[in-house]
Structure formats: C-alpha cells, structure tokens
Amino acid sequence: MKTLYRKFIIATLLILGISIVIAFILANWVYMTSTKERIDSQNVKVAEEVASSLEQMHSTSHLSFTGYLDSISKLGYQIYVLSESGEEFEFGEPFSKKNLPAEAKRVIEQKKIYHGMDSSASPWMMSHFSNQLGNTVGVPFTIGDEDYGLYLRPNNKLLFSDVHVIFAWFFVAVSIVSITGVIWFAKHLIQPITKLTEATREITRENFNFPLNIHRKDEIGQLAESFSTMQVQLQHNDEARKSFINNVSHDFQSPLMNIQGYAELLKTQALDDEHREYVEIIDQESKRLSNLTKQLLLLTSLDQKSYPMKRGITRIDTQIKETVRRHQWRLEEKEIEISYHLPPATILADPELLMTVWDNLLTNAIKYNQPEGSIFIQLAQTDEAINITFKDSGIGMSLDQASKIFERFYRVDAARKKDGTGLGLSIVKHIIELHNGKIEVESEIQKGTTFTIKLPIEKQTEE
C-alpha cells in the first residue's frame, strides 16, 4: 500500500524531474535558436584575427607560425591547420575525431568560411560540445604561395572554469537541501494524519480517550480539534447507550421473574391442552427474554473499562469437563457423541468469565449440530499459550457468515434464530480479548464448525 508520505515524496521528485527535463528542453531550444549562432560568429572572428596575424607576421614560411599558434592554443583553443598540399598541424588539446567534412575542405579550395559549430544537423546542444574536428569554425589564410585552412574551437576543458565548478556545487547543494527539506516537511505534514488514523482505529475498538496531542493552527489543526470534539460526543453517546441498556435490563428482570413464576404456577393447575400450550409458550418466551437481558447486562459490564476482573489460578481442563457434565442431558437427548482430550492446564484468569465462554461454545455446538452428530474438544499447552479447540459436525456456515459471527445481534439464518439472542459469541470474543487472547472460526456448510481459542500464559501471569 502506498502511503501519503511516500506519494508526497514521489510526487515531489517527479515534479523535480519533470522540471529538469523541461528546463533542459527550454535551454536547448534557446541555445539552438540563438546562442549557437552567436558563439559561431564569435569564434569565426577569433579565427579570422588569428589568420590575419599569421599572414602579416609569417608571410614567407609556415615553419615560423607553429610557435605563434601554440601560444594561441594555450589561451584556451584547439587549433588544426591543413595546407593545400595535405600537410597537417595540430595545437592544443587533440581532437578525438579528425574526420574533416567535405564542406570544411572548401575553406582551402574555395576560400569560404566554415561554420561547423552552427551548421550541425543534431537537434541537441550537447553535440555542439563534442570534441570533433567537424565541430569547429574554419577560415582560409595564405603564407607565401601556399593556401591553408585554420580550424578552431574553444577547449571544452577550459570552458569549465572555477566559477562553473562553484555553480555546479551550488546547484548540487541546493538540490540536496531541497529534497531533504521536502522529505522532512512531508514527514512533519503526515505525522498528525497518522495520529488521526490511529485514533480512528481506537474509536472502532470503543476507546474514546486516545490522546492526539496535535497543536497546529492550520487546516490539520482544525481537523484534529473537530476530531477531539467528535471523540467526546461519541464517548458521551456510548456511555448513555450502555447506561440505558443496563437500566432497562435491570428493570426487565423483576417483571420477567414474576411472569415466569406465574407461568410455573399455572402449569400446576388443571388446564386443557390448548391453555397448557399457551402457558408453555409464555414460560419459554419469558425465559428467552430473561436470558437476553442477562446477556445484555454482562456485555455492558464487559464494555466498561473498569470491569472488575477477578483473576485467579484457573484449571481450564476442569472447567470444560464441568461444562460437559452440566450439558450431558442435552447431549443424550440429541444423541450427540462427545469426546475430548483435556490434559491439565492452569492459567491466571477470571474463572467465572471463562466458564461463560465454555458454556456458550458448547451450547452452540449442541444446538446447531446434526442429529447423532459429534463434538470434539481439544486442549494443548505450550510455553507461551494454551490452545483450546471446539469442533462440531453441525450445519456449518459460509465464509461470509463466519466473518460476521462475532458481531452483536448477528444470527446466521432462520435455523439459528429459533432460541438464540445473537449475543453469545460476541460475549465470548469480548471475554477472550479481555484475557489478551484470540478466537478464530473455521466453518463449512453441512460439514461443521471449529472454534480455536488462544490464551497467552506469560502475559496473564505478568498481570
């Protein structure tokens, strides 16, 4: 995943690269349209002055002009002289390529000036700095009875003077400082956004007290301030919701107990079959509603950060065996075969909450199992954790259904809605997370479901 920080850096470097390319193209266009012609004219003037001096100072023999041209080359020029008889002379930095174009030879044959620096066919200015004999200006001169061609160009090595080196290092330093500054600024800009992302994740975990510590006066600061206001409001709404559920659940318990009591009393009376069926429905529904309010009370209690965890040394294997014994009659009623492998395993935990976990998992395994199905419970302990597995041969779930099974009030289908509340597995997950553990589910339709719980040992004992 590409982060905003990485995107900002890439965008900045891309803009810098595009700017360099555009600047190079623009500089190339300026050089090719005007500068190269001016440079060619300047070098032609220099070559003509040198040729004129040669004709005036050395009118009798070519042997005497070598010293003069050697001194001219030391001023920063590359010079090549060709006589009509084919004799060659070279002064200064040697040319890498000495192939003289046919047009350049007309300097001697027709006494025409050669504009090699202006007439190059290449569209790029870098080719005009190549160290080739064709990339020169040429002028004719005569000594005695013999015609010569003087070909001249500035020495590229001397073009880059100390000032050019200073400017080159200046641009390198500016580039390094600019890129470093952009990276630092991007990190400084993205940091509060990262904090806001973390705070958003904490809100999804119902933690409304995540500290932002963002003190800015720009748009990000305004966003952080609005986010903090939202945190406070969400916390207030969450506390109001939990308080309402808690109070309503408490208020429901008393009338529900009365309804159950009167239903039980009616069962003892002589009633016809129709009225007895009505009493049975009242009794079942009141018990179901009572179970729902108890689960809501437990869930709202677990949601409170100040929930009093009563930790103690707990035998996981013993708890699960007790849970199996309590549900033995239901297992026999549905003719479900249960087997387990439960070696002794001890952990520091809240035994009452863990009993709720085993009870919910075993109840689900029985409730949604196939007739004459099976349940297998396994416990395995390592140095770091205790792993508990509940595996049944029940009706199973699809992958999409299994991903939502721990959501509150979520029930898979009509078969699962007959006497469930949709809170049992949500409570299980909450209890496991309170113990710093993890719960996972694997299921396949008509092939069964497997719940795997991992409870860490070291973290629990440290607490």
pLDDT along the chain (463 residues), means of 10: 69 82 84 82 90 76 74 88 87 85 85 82 74 87 86 78 67 82 80 83 79 80 85 80 65 72 76 77 74 69 65 91 90 90 91 89 90 92 91 89 82 55 82 90 90 79 40
Token pair 């109840």: residue: 363
- The token pair at 103 is 């047009």
Range(s) of the domain holding residue 143 = 4-159
Looking at 142, 159, 176, the residue that finishes a domain is 159
Rounded Cα distance between 337 and 377, Å, is: 11
Q: Is the dihedral of CA 205, 209, 213, 218 positive or negative?
A: positive
Assign residue 141 the CATH number of its domain. Answer: 3.30.450
DSSP symbol at 116: T
Instruction: Determine, yes or no, domain membership for 284.
Output: no
**pLDDT reported for residue 362:** 92
Asked if 181 and 209 count as a contact pair (C-beta separation under 8 A), the reply is no
Rounded Cα distance between 314 and 356, Å, is: 14
**pLDDT reported for residue 315:** 92
Closest CA to 303 of 423, 214, 136: 423
Instruction: Determine, yes or no, domain membership for 196.
Output: no
Instruction: Determine, yes or no, domain membership for 9.
Output: yes
Instruction: Determine, yes or no, domain membership for 231.
Output: no
Number of domains observed in the structure of the chain: 2
- The token pair at 287 is 């018990």
Looking at 137, 159, 181, the residue that finishes a domain is 159
Asked if 7 and 186 count as a contact pair (C-beta separation under 8 A), the reply is no
Instruction: Determine, yes or no, domain membership for 386.
Output: yes
Rounded Cα distance between 27 and 398, Å, is: 65
**pLDDT reported for residue 463:** 41
Give SS3 for 90.
strand
Assign residue 358 the CATH number of its domain. Answer: 3.30.565.10
Instruction: Determine, yes or no, domain membership for 46.
Output: yes
Closest CA to 360 of 326, 336, 399: 326
- Alpha helices, H only, 304-445: 316-326, 328-333, 351-367, 399-404, 424-434
- Alpha helices, H only, 312-423: 316-326, 328-333, 351-367, 399-404
**pLDDT reported for residue 159:** 62
Cα Rg of the chain, angstroms: 46
- The token pair at 98 is 């000495």
**pLDDT reported for residue 15:** 83
Closest CA to 194 of 212, 219, 209: 212
The residues, any chain, with a CB within 8 Å of residue 363's CB and separated by 6 or more, are: 327, 424
The count of other CB atoms within 10 Å of the CB of residue 35 is 15
Amino acid, res. 337 = E
Rounded Cα distance between 297 and 245, Å, is: 7
Verdict on whether the full-model pTM lies above 0.85: no
> E-strand spans in 196-325?
312-315
**pLDDT reported for residue 130:** 80
Closest CA to 456 of 357, 387, 389: 387
Asked if 108 and 51 count as a contact pair (C-beta separation under 8 A), the reply is no
Instruction: Determine, yes or no, domain membership for 254.
Output: no
Instruction: Determine, yes or no, domain membership for 419.
Output: yes
- The token pair at 439 is 């719960």
Rounded Cα distance between 433 and 462, Å, is: 16
Looking at 131, 159, 187, the residue that finishes a domain is 159
- The token pair at 219 is 């748009």
**What is the distance of C-alpha 252 from the center of its chain?**
49
